[in-house]
Amino acid sequence: MDAAEIISRAAGYLNPTERGDRTSGGVATALLTKDGTLFYGVCIDTISGMGFCAEHAAAAAMLTAGQSEVAMVVAVTRDDDGLSVLPPCGRCREFLYQIDDRNLDAQVVLGPDTVATLADLLPERQARPVPST
């Protein structure tokens, strides 16, 4: 799957909804696993800070299905200028890394012609402690 296709797949899940001071669906993510399965998620924004990013929702679906290794991920939104690709926030970058160390090799789509690895986006990450035996 290339960047354009995964962007298009994610865009199909955009469904901005407002309920009072809460919003959801304004950002959608498509997450492709190493075995070729696609998982999707949308953001949920609440005033109390209890919401979460679209990447978290897609990762939760992936983990629920018993998988953890990401091949490619993208987040998209739509505004007056059209469809835009969003880079994952720092929390989402770290979250994907902490789910599975192998995700450092995941391709993160930053635009139709721009892809970086998660490792590229986490250059100063801390080494994870090794459990004592």
Q: What is the spatial distance between Cα 74 and Cα 82, in angstroms, rounded to a whole number?
A: 16
Q: What is the spatial distance between Cα 12 and Cα 30, in angstroms, rounded to a whole number?
A: 10
Residue 110 CB coordination number (10 Å)? 18
β-bridge partners, 25? none
Q: Model pTM? A: 0.89
Q: What is the spatial distance between Cα 104 and Cα 117, in angstroms, rounded to a whole number?
A: 7
Q: Spell out the per-residue pLDDT of the chain, length 133, in tens.
A: 999 999 999 999 999 888 888 888 899 999 999 999 999 999 998 887 788 999 999 999 999 999 999 999 999 999 989 999 999 999 999 999 999 999 999 999 999 999 999 999 998 776 666 666 6
Contact between 55 and 74 (Cβ < 8 Å): no
Domains of the chain (ranges, CATH numbers): 3-118 (3.40.140.10)
Would you call 16 helix, strand, or coil by DSSP?
coil
* Token pair in block for residue 74: 């993208």
